[in-house]
Amino acid sequence: MRPFIYERATDARAAIAAMSTAGAKFISGGTNLLDLMKLEIEQPTHLVDISRLAFKDIEELPDGGLRIGAQASNSDTAADRRVRTRYPLLSQALVAGASGQLRNKASVGGNLLQRTRCPYFYDTASACNKRNPGSGCSAIGGLNRSHAILGGSDACIATHPSDMAVAMTVLDAQIELLGANQAARRVAIADFYRLPGDTPHIETVLGPNEMITGVVLPPPPPGRQVYRKVRDRASYAFALVSVAAIVATDGGTITSARVGFGGVAPKPWRSVEAEAALMGRPATMATYRDAAEAAMTHAIGRGQNDFKIELAKRTLCRTLAQVAQVG
């Protein structure tokens, strides 16, 4: 690890001001950044610690939603009674991520800002447009079993690692940002992440020196909520495929549906195609299969990850059967 200056911010204004220094990066839990620094993939010269800023609270909103501070830990968020009862999808997704020790340390804001990455990103001897723009993508034509089947490009097919972000995407979360001169704005999580295109090293719409201060969850939508994660081992592994689903039924007919995928794209993937295929249809396995086909219409396998297309379809069908209470 290379030498760096460490600064503990006393308030948000000071933290943002410190980011004007060349080579500066925010650090909170550090569960992703420190690993990348040890591998010399990230080489900040100035770390601004924001972990002690007053953004840890989970607050009730007048409309029945919740505001989760960016410095709230993943463990505290998952365990919060209001999250567990009103947004069980989010609690399930958080518990499915990483290990208990990492969830205790990782913050909500840091979780949202994990680098989209793959094994080639970690291997400095391999070509990676995310690590070294313009160098190429070794995953295309290489070992790509875990890589994207949706939303990728010829420049990058890495997948986004966050379980929490998939759940928040289906819940229509809004991300609060604070920038220079205390300029505040909100961005829908669906618009926060960028697809790789020709610039895979630019992963979000976060502006220079901006920081995440919180996440706003609107009132919970009608219906039951389920998060299902399929992975190579039972814990501490990224998803091969995950599904977040919220479905409401009336008399056996689907009246509202939200569907999201993890592990299949460079960003949390909301499937409007699957949602459209479910609306107004009977809650049956035939309907779920149609939704699964619609969700994967534009999926592209690159050899070793071809199996993920069928796995995504089956995982969606199984999740929908569970959430709609139909066997």
Note the pLDDT tens digit of each residue in 83-104: 999 999 999 999 999 888 889 9
Q: What is the pLDDT of residue 282?
A: 97
Q: What is the pLDDT of residue 325?
A: 74
Q: What is the pLDDT of residue 255?
A: 97
Closest CA to 172 of 97, 268, 103: 268
Q: Give the Cα separation of 228 and 95 in Å (integer).
A: 11
Rg from Cα positions in the chain = 20
Closest CA to 82 of 226, 186, 217, 245: 217
DSSP per residue over 215-227, as a string?
EEEPSPPSSEEEE
Q: How many CA atoms lie within 13 A of 289 on its CB side?
A: 3
Q: Is the pLDDT of residue 171 over 70?
A: yes
* Residue 141, φ and ψ in degrees, nearest 5: 90, 0
Q: Give the Cα separation of 14 and 24 in Å (integer).
A: 13
Region 196-214 average pLDDT: 96
One-letter amino acid for residue 276 of the chain: A
Q: Give the Cα separation of 158 and 121 in Å (integer).
A: 9
Q: Is the pLDDT of residue 279 over 60?
A: yes
Region 149-176 average pLDDT: 98
What's the pLDDT band for 327 if we cut at 50, 70, 90?
very low
What's the pLDDT band for 234 if we cut at 50, 70, 90?
confident
Q: Is the pLDDT of residue 147 over 90?
A: yes
Percent of the chain whose pLDDT exceeds 70: 99
Region 214-225 average pLDDT: 97
Residue of higher predicted confidence among 98 and 273: 273
Q: Give the Cα separation of 151 and 164 in Å (integer).
A: 19
Q: Is the pLDDT of residue 57 over 80?
A: yes
Strands 66-69 vs 46-49: parallel, antiparallel or unpaired? unpaired
Length of the chain equals: 327
Which residues are within 8 A (CB) of 203 and not within 5 positions of it... i.e. 6 or more apart? 115, 116, 193, 194, 266
Q: Is the pLDDT of residue 8 over 90?
A: yes
Q: What is the pLDDT of residue 100?
A: 86
Which residues are within 8 A (CB) of 103 and not within 5 positions of it... i.e. 6 or more apart? 73, 74, 75, 78, 94, 95, 97
